[in-house]
Amino acid sequence: MSAERLDGYETGVEYVEHWQPELAPPWLDAVVVEGGLAPPRADASSAFRYLDLGCGRGTSVNLLAASCPQGEFVGVDVMRVHIDAATALAAEAGLANASFVAASFESLLADPPAPFDYVVMHGVWTWVDERNRALLVRLLDRVLRPGGVLYVSYNTLPGWTMALPAQRLLLALASGSGEADPVARLHHAAATIRALDDAGALAVTANPGARWLLDEIARREPGYVVHEYLHAGWRPIYVTELLDALAPLDVALAGSASFLEGRREYVLRRAQRALVDAADATPERELLLDFCLNRSLRRDVFVRAPRTALGAAEVGRWLLAQNVLARVPAEAVAFELAVPAGRLRFDNRATREVVAHLAAAPGSLGVLARNDPADGPTAADVLAARRVLLAAEVVLPADPAHARSRHRVLNRAILRRCDGARPIPMLATAHGVPLDVTVADQRSLRGGGEDDGTRPSGARPYQAIHAALDLL
């Protein structure tokens, strides 16, 4: 199979610049430890190998390679145009630890690389057909080492139940349009569904899922919609189907890459939690959780043949020793969050101290813990603060600053693109995890950029975070 072909996969349009923060090794390590398992890295300075299957334009791989100089990163994608763009950016930034391969899963399986400590697949499992899912499992068996981490994000049932008929109609109409260009096929299909809506077709007008999909098409770039929903093999699944498929790999589910969804006490009502907690086995428990949350996307983190189980005390010590960086300026933290179970409020002494501690620079949180509650927050208080601030996306797991980081060089290359057709709205850091940075703030960082009206109200304080991280 050529590198430009994947059965049923639409390769006629490029994907968008895309970054998922949970793909960063410090983030994945934190999820694994929260699950009571040992992470692949002995410490933040340890060398490691990282594979992104379906890397798109290589944004994640390049950002991580610049942020984690001790890692060796490989991105694989079936589309040569994606690989060319990724390789060009890596060369411009001098990222010797990032490489890219244009290959199908079948061709990669014929000559697999050496095993990796981290393997990530964002969306790919949903997009490819059954044959390629089977190839993926065989490939993972060759490239994921024991003790290594596997990240899989995928569209799930029952959350997709309402929108699934509209997606099937969108795919059928696009396939039958006769248009050669996938974007033209998308527009034809979307226009037909809108006409059905206007005509009062009940399966559209009475279905919130159909309306959601129409809104999704309207607000997203065409390249995103085509890659997300127009592959012939596209199929949402129940979590139990993925667990069955991965069973031959001897992987253990460490938890969700969402720090919010990973804490059942944050997202479930008391009666729901009692039902979920009473389940005897992981498949049943995760299925019940998906029905409680009506999840349409799962972001699962697994460990292959886990080497070590960690006790609660060891987990707490590790988490308090890991660095954390501020994602939101201190003055913008709301200290409450809407969650499926209601509102999560966390305005207390410990969270206030953590936010203030991280305002100047990233760091670990163990230094804030006091033995006597009268003197300040205890270790348990600080740990609880860390967890809720991660769930609220106020902070990010991070590494200590890497002296050999190439983040500044990559960031200057990204800033040169911020006025172009494909800006990259994130920047690398020296701390092992990239940061979302709006194009408007990138212009300000670049110099001479005035507030052009595209910066959200209240976004100016983010510049203090950018300065503290020495992004340029």
Confidence class for position 465, pLDDT limits 50, 70, 90: confident
> What's the pLDDT at 307?
84
Is residue 458 pLDDT above 80, yes or no? no
Residue 470 CA to residue 407 CA, distance in Å, equals 9
Q: What is the pTM of this model?
A: 0.94
Is residue 219 pLDDT above 90, yes or no? yes
Domains and CATH numbers, the chain: 21-157+235-304 (3.40.50.150), 164-229 (no CATH)
> What's the pLDDT at 19?
84
Is residue 346 pLDDT above 70, yes or no? yes
> What's the pLDDT at 454?
44
> What's the pLDDT at 444?
84
Adjacent-strand bridge partners of 363: 324
> What's the pLDDT at 5?
57
Burial of 343 (0-12, 13-18, 19+ CB in 10 A): exposed
* Token reading at 122: 């964002």
Residue 350 CA to residue 355 CA, distance in Å, equals 9
> What's the pLDDT at 443?
87
* Residue appearing with tokens 């990138």: 442
Burial of 24 (0-12, 13-18, 19+ CB in 10 A): buried
> What's the pLDDT at 450?
44
Residue 59: in which H helix or E strand, if any? helix 59-67
Burial of 145 (0-12, 13-18, 19+ CB in 10 A): middle
Is residue 448 pLDDT above 90, yes or no? no
Is residue 464 pLDDT above 80, yes or no? no
DSSP 3-state of 363: strand
CA distances from 440 to 20, 33, 294, 416, 462 (A): 20, 36, 35, 13, 11
> What's the pLDDT at 6?
67
Average pLDDT of the residues in 317-337: 95
Is residue 453 pLDDT above 70, yes or no? no
Average pLDDT of the residues in 428-445: 91
Is residue 84 pLDDT above 80, yes or no? yes
Q: What angle do CA 48, 17, 359 make, to 5 degrees?
A: 65
pLDDT in tens, 31-76: 999 999 999 999 999 999 999 999 999 999 999 999 999 999 999 9
> What's the pLDDT at 461?
57
In this prediction, what percent of the chain has a pLDDT beyond 90? 85
Average pLDDT of the residues in 257-263: 96
Confidence class for position 2, pLDDT limits 50, 70, 90: very low
**Please, which residues have CB within 8 angstroms of residue 378's CB and are 6 or more apart in sequence?**
369, 370, 371
Residue 152: in which H helix or E strand, if any? strand 144-155
Is the CB of residue 9 less than 8 Å from the CB of residue 78? yes
> What's the pLDDT at 466?
77
pLDDT in tens, 175-213: 998 888 999 999 999 999 999 999 999 999 999 999 999
Confidence class for position 470, pLDDT limits 50, 70, 90: confident
Is residue 15 pLDDT above 70, yes or no? yes
Is the CB of residue 385 less than 8 Å from the CB of residue 348? yes
Is residue 370 pLDDT above 70, yes or no? yes
**Mean pLDDT across the chain:** 92
pLDDT in tens, 307-321: 889 999 999 999 999
Q: Which range, of 82-86, 177-181, 425-429, averages the lowest pLDDT?
A: 177-181
Residue among 120, 203, 109 at smallest CA distance from 162: 203
Is the CB of residue 13 less than 8 Å from the CB of residue 182? yes
Give the orientation angle of helix 312-321 with respect to helix 25-34, to 10 degrees.
160
Is residue 335 pLDDT above 90, yes or no? yes
> What's the pLDDT at 467?
77
Dmax over CA atoms of the chain, in Å, equals 73
pLDDT in tens, 267-303: 999 999 999 999 989 999 999 999 999 999 999 999 9
